[in-house]
Amino acid sequence: MTALSTETPSRPAAAASPAALRARKDRNRALALLSPGLIWMALFMVLPMCMVVYVSFWTQTTFSVEPSLTTASWQRFLGSSTYLAAIGTTLRIWAIVLVATVAIGYPVALFIGLFVRNKTVQTALLVACVIPFWTSFLIRVIAWRPMLGTEGAINMILMKLGIISHPLEFLLFSEFSVLVGMTQIYCVFMVGPITFMLGRIEPSVIEAARDLGASFGTIFRRIILPLSLPGVMVGAIFVSVMVLGEFATAASLSGRKVNLLGNIIVSQVGSLKWAFAAVAGVVLTVIITAVIALALRLVDLRKEM
């Protein structure tokens, strides 16, 4: 039998304490986990962003850009009513789509997150919401044409029912069709986060409010809505970022009547107007940043999540 030693193994006095060693190890691990993401972001996000700002001040000739600095592209952009109108259109469509996705998405989320209490059914319903995403973006957008066209399903049905005598022209190749297309595509990004927040509300909290004498309307206003607002904000950020940068829906459903900032970038890049595209890109980035900053101001996500 060996006697148990109660002495601690001797250690040089200068060596770090176990706590310090552990702290250093944790720090190294955090650094190791962070660095791939940081390197990626630096190389493919921060650097290109700086490049875009830089290029927006380059001199544009017909088919090329030269790195001699000028504000010509900025002056042209900010002095043109067409481009300023594009900013207006982008903001208008963003606002309408945002409101529409909340108006359509919130009741859906309310149903899935609050009234369906079975987790399996909840998941199944959420998956059903993403089924349209099993087809490509373009198909989802173009599928609206046979629906909304003058010879399309909606006009046919309305005419057969005798509600209208002439096909409704505004349905397709208009701002309306762009709004319909975008609302459909981005609604699910609103439903998801709201459902998540609603699903986290304890059923007993709602029952408690009921027990204290509140009607369903009051409970919705005072308990459910405030508790789900962070979900609305996250959904709004998702939808905003995607709608503000949109060009494809407008390109295929507006009949070139709706010009978003995204469409300007696409057409300018297409005609090799790099400096000008860069200006539009910077403007778009500033708008998106402002919108996100505003959203984060409205709800303190750190507190709520």
Partner 1 sequence: MFACEKSINGETDVLTLSRVTRRYGANTALDGVDLVVPDNTYMALLGASGAGKTTLLRLIAGFEEPDQGEIAIHGERIDGQPPHLRDIGFVFQNFALFPHLTVAQNVEFGLRHRARAPITDDAEIRARAEAALELVGLAGFGHRGVGAISGGQRQRVALARTLVCEPRIVLLDEPLGALDANLRARMCDELRAIRERLKVSFLHVTGSETEALTMGDEVAVLAGGRIVQSDAPEMLFTAPRNAAAARHLNAWNIFPAGLCAGGAAQGEIAVRFDQIDVSPPGAVPDGRPHLAAQYLTGEFNGPTALSFFRAEDGTLLQVVDHLSTPRLPELTEGARYDLHFAPDAARQFHGAA
Is residue 202 close enough to count as binding partner 1 by CB under 8 A? Answer: yes
Residues 219-238 binding partner 1 (CB under 8 A) are 222-223, 226-227
In the numeric block, the tokens 């002095």 are attached to 79
Nearer to partner 1, 145 or 210 (CB): 210
Is residue 272 close enough to count as binding partner 1 by CB under 8 A? Answer: no
Nearer to partner 1, 179 or 209 (CB): 209
Is residue 215 close enough to count as binding partner 1 by CB under 8 A? Answer: yes
Region of 151-159, 169-177, 213-221, 258-266 interacting with partner 1 (CB under 8 A):
213-221
Q: What is the DSSP secondary structure assignment for residue 21, as one 8-state letter?
A: H
First to last CA, the chain: 57
Is residue 209 close enough to count as binding partner 1 by CB under 8 A? Answer: yes
Q: Quote the least distance from Cβ 213 to partner 1, whole Å.
A: 3
In the numeric block, the tokens 């060996």 are attached to 2
Nearer to partner 1, 147 or 201 (CB): 201
Instruction: Determine if residue 213 is left, alpha or beta; phi over 0 gives left, psi from -120 to 50 gives alpha, anything else beta.
Output: left
Is residue 117 close enough to count as binding partner 1 by CB under 8 A? Answer: no
Is residue 239 close enough to count as binding partner 1 by CB under 8 A? Answer: no
Nearer to partner 1, 119 or 303 (CB): 303
Q: Please tell me the distance from the alpha carbon of residue 255 to that of residue 263, in angstroms, as a whole number.
A: 12
Q: Please tell me the distance from the alpha carbon of residue 187 to that of residue 104, in angstroms, as a whole number.
A: 7
Q: Quote the least distance from Cβ 218 to partner 1, whole Å.
A: 5
Q: Which two tokens stand for residue 167?
A: 């096909």
Nearer to partner 1, 220 or 238 (CB): 220
Count of chain residues binding partner 1 (CB under 8 A): 17
Q: Quote the least distance from Cβ 68 to partner 1, whole Å.
A: 56
Is residue 48 close enough to count as binding partner 1 by CB under 8 A? Answer: no
Distances (CA, A) of 218 to 110, 190, 236: 15, 24, 24
E strands along 21-124, which residues?
Answer: 59-60, 65-66
Contact 105, 232 (CB under 8 A): no
In the numeric block, the tokens 């629906």 are attached to 147
Pattern 155-194, binding to partner 1, x per CB under 8 A?
----------------------------------------
Q: What is the 3-state secondary structure (H, E, C) of 187-224?
A: HHHHHHHHHHHHHCCCHHHHHHHHHCCCCHHHHHHHHH
Is residue 211 close enough to count as binding partner 1 by CB under 8 A? Answer: yes
Region of 41-49, 79-87, 138-146, 199-207 interacting with partner 1 (CB under 8 A):
199-207
Q: Which two tokens stand for residue 210?
A: 């009921």
Q: Quote the least distance from Cβ 197 to partner 1, whole Å.
A: 11
Q: Which helix (H) or strand (E) holds 123?
A: helix 119-130
40-56 burial, b for 16+ CB within 10 Å, e for fewer? eeeeeeeeeeeebeebb
Q: Please tell me the distance from the alpha carbon of residue 71 to that of residue 66, in angstroms, as a whole number.
A: 13
Q: Please tell me the distance from the alpha carbon of residue 157 to that of residue 165, in angstroms, as a whole number.
A: 11
Is residue 257 close enough to count as binding partner 1 by CB under 8 A? Answer: no
Is residue 118 close enough to count as binding partner 1 by CB under 8 A? Answer: no
For binding to partner 1 (CB under 8 A), which residues are involved?
202, 204-205, 207-215, 218, 222-223, 226-227
